[in-house]
Amino acid sequence: MDYLTKSREELISELLDQKQEFNLLKTLFNKEINDLNQIEAILKERLKELSCHDQISDVMSNSELSIDEVCKKIVQIIPPSWQFPEIAEASIQIPNRVFSTSDFKAGKYSMVQDIKINQAIWGHIEVSYPNDQTPATDQLFLPEESSLLFSIAVKLGNYMEKKEKELALKVSEEKYKDLIENISDVIYTTDNQGNITFISPSITRALGYRPEDIIGKNFTNFTGETSEHLKKRFEEIKDKSELQNEYQILSATGEPHWIRFSSKAFTFSKDGQFIGVTGTMVDITEKKLIELELQKSESLYRSILHASPDTIFIADLQGNVLFTSPMALKMFGYENNGFPINSPLFDFVDPKDHAKAQDAISQMFEGIYTGATEYMGIKADGSTFEMEANGEFIRDAEGNPTSMVFVVRDISDRKRAEEKLLKSEETYRNLVESINDIIYDITIDGTIKYVSSASERLFNHKAESLIGQNFFSFVHPEDSSFLLDIFRNNRFSDHKDIEYRCITKTGETVWVQASARNVYEEDRLVGRTGILYDITERYLPFV
């Protein structure tokens, strides 16, 4: 107890030093508590953001939900993720539709983000606080909330774009599938040995066979006594490319049917080898010629990919990763080791795309936003994949950039699907354009919706120049009355074999033979499809 030996002044000085040290410790303790509270608050906000992303991804991945149902769910998911969830309201506005929480009112305390599709503004998403319930705070909306709203808008834009493409593909698929399955004329393809590789369902109506009874078998199995002659004709087509003739074919019940064949050697491999034949079969036994409309594009394309949830990157202004969403682990292959935070963004981009990525970031700093850009991404194992990235700044209260946010989407499946779709479209376009006869599709008033390229050989008109014109404007004036009567009164059953004259571009008269089939939508007659072929030579002796 050495204080007994100390003077009064020394004791007072020592007490003051201890008091100062105590106050310092108290200040440090209070600061640490305050820092911990701030960290806890930030973590709570981040947890809400991650939960929001996860919920929205789950909703968008549900293929059973419509666009309206997805939007309704998202506006309910958003408010709990904001700083003041008890009074936050949300709204999504897209063309002709608005989805809002029950008490949403647009006011002065709100933040708005555009929803874009292909860089065009398609709608917007808004988060708002009531004018009369605004909390007393210096920062009503956090910078992180701006980033979150941006990423939600990007997700919605990508989702809407995907849904629009799915709808367009579905409509196209159903249209051409319906055409190919309901047209009465038969379309077929063979390999270079005459084995049937495809035949339309119309074969059942024409000859009583099911497609599965015929596909894989040689055409001579169904030609009876004419088999040897047809074999010779099949060899001739390799040199002549196109052949037309009429033969007797046995039906499934053994009855002979006269069938008109129009065939063409339509495909050759790169080394010049003959691959096969495509053509049409028309049952002329009952003088009824039926239209076969081929799919014009991607009717067999049925693989609609479910987009994976996007990866969100937040990086500092030097391009170092500060934060990634959980999907980054799966997308970039870091499930086992964890994502390497603080690594440069360029570590995850193929070197050949570094210049393009640097240019996009430089343009961001100049206020130019290029939108979603495609790059090759690099996974943890060094493998690459195709991805799409879109960037934006996270700004402070004064609008100054503090960091960058990037939305990254794995588009590998989409790229593969697009390549497959292009190949499918080319295959079926070549198939329909290779048929000698003219395939047409007209409305109930005769307006031409589609006509195959074979029309150029007969009418000297480019096929595309005929679209939108009236079919009857090409009919010979002396034949117009009876054809209009048949057309308007739907009397095709009384005229199974329609023959009439048409006028070509050069003013020549040609004779054609045509079939027509009614097209219905919801039991309502909307037009007709058919096949038309040149029979002028048949009438030449009478001219």
pLDDT tier at 338, thresholds 50, 70, 90? confident
pLDDT in tens, 226-275: 667 777 777 777 676 677 777 777 788 888 777 777 777 765 556 667 77
Predicted pLDDT at 294? 34
Among residues of the chain, what percentage have pLDDT more than 70?
Answer: 82
pLDDT tier at 296, thresholds 50, 70, 90? very low
Q: H-helix or E-strand containing 39? A: helix 8-60
Amino acid at 135: P
pLDDT in tens, 42-90: 556 666 777 788 888 888 888 888 888 988 988 898 888 888 888 889 9
Q: Residue 276 and residue 266: Cα distance in Å, rounded?
A: 7
184-283 matches 437-542 in fold: yes
Domain positions in the chain? 2-40, 184-283, 437-542
Coil, strand or helix at 139: coil
Predicted pLDDT at 247? 73
The correct answer on CATH 3.40.50.880 for the domain covering 437-542 is no
pLDDT in tens, 345-393: 889 999 999 998 888 888 888 888 777 888 889 998 899 898 888 888 8
Contact present, 186 and 199 (Cβ < 8 Å)? yes
Query: 88: buried, middle or exposed (CB in 10 Å: 19+, 13-18, 0-12)?
Result: buried
**What is the CATH number assigned to the segment(s) 184-283?**
3.30.450.20
Among residues of the chain, what percentage have pLDDT more than 90?
Answer: 6
Q: Examine the pLDDT at 523 and tell me if it is beyond 80.
A: yes
Q: Give the pLDDT mean for 164-192.
A: 74
Bin 254: left if φ > 0, else alpha if -120 < ψ < 50, else beta: left
Number of Cβ atoms within 10 Å of the Cβ of 240: 12
Predicted pLDDT at 398? 84
Q: Residue 236 and residue 249: Cα distance in Å, rounded?
A: 20
pTM: 0.33
Predicted pLDDT at 420? 80
Q: Which of 377 and 278 is assigned the larger pLDDT? A: 377
DSSP letter (8 states) at residue 64? T
